[in-house]
Chain A
Amino acid sequence: MSHLKPESNNPFDPLSPAAVVRAAADDELTADQQRALEALRTQDPTIDDRIAFEVALKQSVRRAMVAPASAPASLRATIEGLFGTEPAVVDVPAFTRSHSFWARRPTWVALAASIALLATVAVVMRSPLGSQLGPTVGAPFAAQLVDASNFIVSEHNHCSAFDAYFEHKFTVRNDADASDEVVELLGNPPTRIKLDQAGYQFVGLGKCTVPGPGESVHMIYRPINKTRPTLSLFVQQDDARPDIEQGVRYRLSTQVGAPVLIWRKQGLIYYLFSPDTTAESDACDLLEAPAVEQDI
């Protein structure tokens, strides 16, 4: 059996010829790629030239980026001076990317949203509508969605400030990387990342912890027309929970007016939120969210 996949032109397939060539040039071949390279050599007489080109390109990048080769003498003197005077301390400002959502103080908005959501669910579950929901949206599920929605409104508000928290959390800043990241973290590709046609520009993706089982990510979008509010899309691994129906878009109302919209699709659960309901509708269309709506 050949280890090579000559038909593949997927840039992220590690066994595609181009990926094997790059890994060979970088001295980062895996065992599978090593076998693929040997197979490739028997089929393509130019393969070593291709590797040589990649190596040469890397050397050219090195030559282009190596300057400035040395730090200025004045900077060296300053740093040496720091070593002599600056004491090592135990407690330092955190500058790693890890950031605990739970360590932060909840905002009044989040608190208000939480109360509103809990009240909504309490009323709904006691109402005829609650009983109509029956086995489809049971109490534990509704409670879990309230938790999730509360989290989503709070995170959306925090991240829309684009402050230090945004900088720490959103480690992926272009939409092409975002799609890879979703696959890597959640195991399935999202319906789409770009929402330009809905008037929203992708700004970043970061890991987050939407309540409930399964890894999740948060993608945030900035309006192309800057007078509109930001929009957030959270995507969570689908743990095959029995309560949420395929083909239904759930609406969970919030105190800020617009609802959190929730649906399940192809191994993922989507949570969409923006204070602008028109933006939500437009994004839902692009994301191919189910047309059938159900209020919770």
Chain B
Amino acid sequence: MERSDFERLALEQLDALHRAAFQLCKNHATAADLVQDTYLRAIRSAHQFEDRGGGIRPWLFTILHNVFYSRLQKESRDPIFLENISMVDTSTSAPDDPPPAWSVDTIDWDHIDTRITESLDTIDPDTRLALLLWGVEGLKYREIAEVLGVPVGTVMSRLYRARQQLATQLADLPAELGFRIRGRTQDHESPET
């Protein structure tokens, strides 16, 4: 690939990388720093890039992910640093009930967006990145697995748990907003108003 083509393709991903960096560290200045470091490494290793069908984007996300964790360990060599990363207890797997059959037309999505935004802040950085790559960037499970360096099954289970967590945050919405959940047992239905 010509250097000019590489630069053009890489630059096209700047917004996406910046979003991902922000979701990892939740700090604008650090995100900008991470992105800069990511591009620096990408330029230096441009010759290593191989398009495996997903374009340059998964490759750049992989570098960003690794830069983030390299920095994390550099900045805190004490094992306690692990406790400083925002993490929720995702150790419990609830039974896999199908998602509620809410009528999406009647839901106040603005209200839900607010709830979800709040909930996302309590999720660990790796899962937040998986959610971003899945929900915003449209990567396939396989591509997300490559970026995070984990098996596809792990990506699916992380996304499953994140969705469960988000759904839990929304559990009281039917009652709050006064709509009925269809296809659920009576004791899960909210009273109609």
Interface residues of A (CB under 8 A from B): 8-13, 16-19, 21-22, 26, 28, 44-47, 49-50, 52-54, 56-72, 74-76, 78-80, 82-83, 86-90, 92-93, 95-97, 162-164, 166-167, 171-177, 180-181, 184-185, 194, 203, 222
Size category of the binding interface on chain B: 35 or more
With a cutoff of 8 Å between Cβ atoms, the chain B residues found around residue A74 in the complex are 32
Instruction: Across the interface, name the chain B residue whose C-beta is closest to A165.
Output: B73
Let me know if A60 and B109 touch, CB within 8 A.
Answer: yes
Within 8 Å CB of B22, what residues of A? 68
Q: Mark B1-34, 1 if CB is under 8 A from A, else 0.
A: 0010001001100110111001100001000100
Partner-contacting stretch, out of B50-58, B129-137, B185-193: B129-137
Lowest 8 A-B CB distances belong to which pairs?
Answer: A46-B183, A46-B101, A61-B135, A71-B18, A49-B101, A162-B79, A9-B95, A11-B96
CB pair B116–A86 under 8 Å, yes or no, is: no
Tell me the number of A-to-B contacts counted with CB atoms below 8 Å: 225
| Interface of chain B, main secondary structure | helix
B154 near A180: Cβ-Cβ < 8 Å: yes
Known: A50-B99, A50-B183. 5 other contacts (CB 8 A): A11-B93, A44-B183, A57-B116, A95-B41, A180-B153
B32–A57 touching, CB < 8 Å:
no
A28, A53, A68: the one contacting B102 at CB < 8 Å is A53
Report the minimum CB–CB distance from B175 to chain A (whole Å): 17
Q: Determine whether the beta carbon of B120 is less than 8 Å from that of A71.
A: no
Contact B40 A166 (CB under 8 A): no
Closest beta carbon of chain A to B170's beta carbon, Å: 8
B158 neighbours in A (Cβ, 8 Å): 177
B177, CB-defined interface residue at 8 Å: no
B59-100 Cβ-contact flags toward A at 8 Å (1 or 0): 000110011011011100111011000010011111111111
User: Which chain A positions have C-beta within 8 A of B126?
Assistant: 173
Known A-B contacts A46-B101, A49-B182; A171 and B149 likewise in contact (beta carbons under 8 Å) = yes
- Bound together, the chains give a CA A46 to CA B167 distance in angstroms of 18
In the bound complex, do residue B91 and residue A174 qualify as a contact, i.e. CB atoms below 8 Å apart?
yes
- List A contacts of B156 (CB < 8 A): 12
Instruction: Closest A residue to B128 by CB, please name it.
Output: A65
**Could you list 24 examples of A-B contacts with CB < 8 Å?**
A9-B96, A11-B93, A22-B163, A26-B141, A46-B182, A53-B99, A54-B99, A57-B163, A59-B135, A62-B136, A65-B132, A67-B19, A71-B18, A71-B35, A75-B14, A76-B14, A83-B43, A88-B43, A88-B45, A96-B62, A171-B149, A176-B92, A181-B154, A184-B154
Q: Are B157 and A12 in contact (CB under 8 A)?
A: yes
A174 to B113 alpha-carbon distance, docked (Å): 27
Contacts of B117 in A (CB 8 A): 64
